[in-house]
Amino acid sequence: MPGKFFNYVVFPVTTIALVGTIIRSQARPAKAHSHYMKGDHQTRQGWKQANDGLSVQDVGRSGGGV
């Protein structure tokens, strides 16, 4: 009986708690790139590079709205 308690209660709870702790410890806030929203060509190129080729039009289509 103690083996079943460990297998069905203690192990899953411990595993979920450990995974949650690891995920929270590695989470970081995203870096803001508000200066890329200016209109000149150089900053738009910077925006595309920082966002892996996404343009303002792509963000609008995804529901992000700009």
The alpha carbons of the chain give a radius of gyration, in whole angstroms, of 22
Q: How many domains does the chain have?
A: 2
Quick one: which of 17, 12, 49, 19 has its CA closest to 33?
Answer: 49
**What pLDDT score does 1 carry?**
62
Tally of residues, the chain = 66
Structure token pair of residue 17: 């708690």
- Domain coverage including residue 51: 33-65
pLDDT in tens, 32-65: 666 556 667 777 777 677 766 555 665 555 565 5
Same domain, 37 and 14: no
Same domain, 6 and 22: yes
Same domain, 37 and 61: yes
Same domain, 40 and 24: no
Is 0.75 topped by the overall pTM? no
pLDDT in tens, 17-38: 999 988 888 777 766 666 556 6
Q: Which residues contact 60 (CB under 8 A, 6 or more apart)?
A: 66
